[in-house]
């Protein structure tokens, strides 16, 4: 795992994700999930590329089933992009790196107060 990716759990989720001053991409995954293992190196690479502009964290759904339930995770991998404590984008399944970059760039280009 990249040093720019951290694991969170129910105790650290509020501080690391909901109260973050920067957008946070959360990877809800499981160790037994093949597509999750395919996504892991892409997620690490993106974390390095977007360092300083966005945070990247992972949640193991088997170790944190309450978080998975709260955010209605029904398939893994599921990527949720949080801004100001709210989910602003959701990606379920594996996407190629370029498509993920497009989604992240679009989210970063959108002003935080655009939709209030």
> Which of the residues 17, 24, 36, 39 is marked catalytic?
36
> Which of the residues 33, 40, 80, 104 is marked catalytic?
33
Q: Is 36 tagged catalytic? A: yes
Angle among Cα 48, 108, 55 to the nearest 5 degrees reads 40
- Nearest alpha carbon to residue 61 among 24, 27, 28: 28
Q: Is 114 tagged catalytic? A: no
Which positions are annotated as active-site residues?
33, 36
């Amino acid at each position: 795992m990249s040093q720019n990716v951290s694991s969170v759990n129910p105790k650290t989720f509020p501080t690391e994700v909901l109260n973050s001053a920067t957008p946070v991409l959360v990877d809800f995954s499981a160790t037994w999930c093949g597509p999750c293992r395919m996504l892991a190196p892409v997620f690490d690479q993106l974390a390095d590329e977007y360092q300083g502009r966005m945070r990247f964290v992972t949640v193991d759904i088997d170790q944190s089933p309450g978080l998975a339930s709260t955010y209605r995770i029904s398939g893994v991998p599921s990527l949720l992009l949080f801004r100001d404590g709210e989910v602003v984008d959701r990606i379920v399944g594996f996407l190629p790196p370029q498509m993920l970059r497009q989604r992240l760039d679009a989210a970063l280009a959108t002003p935080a107060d655009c939709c209030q």
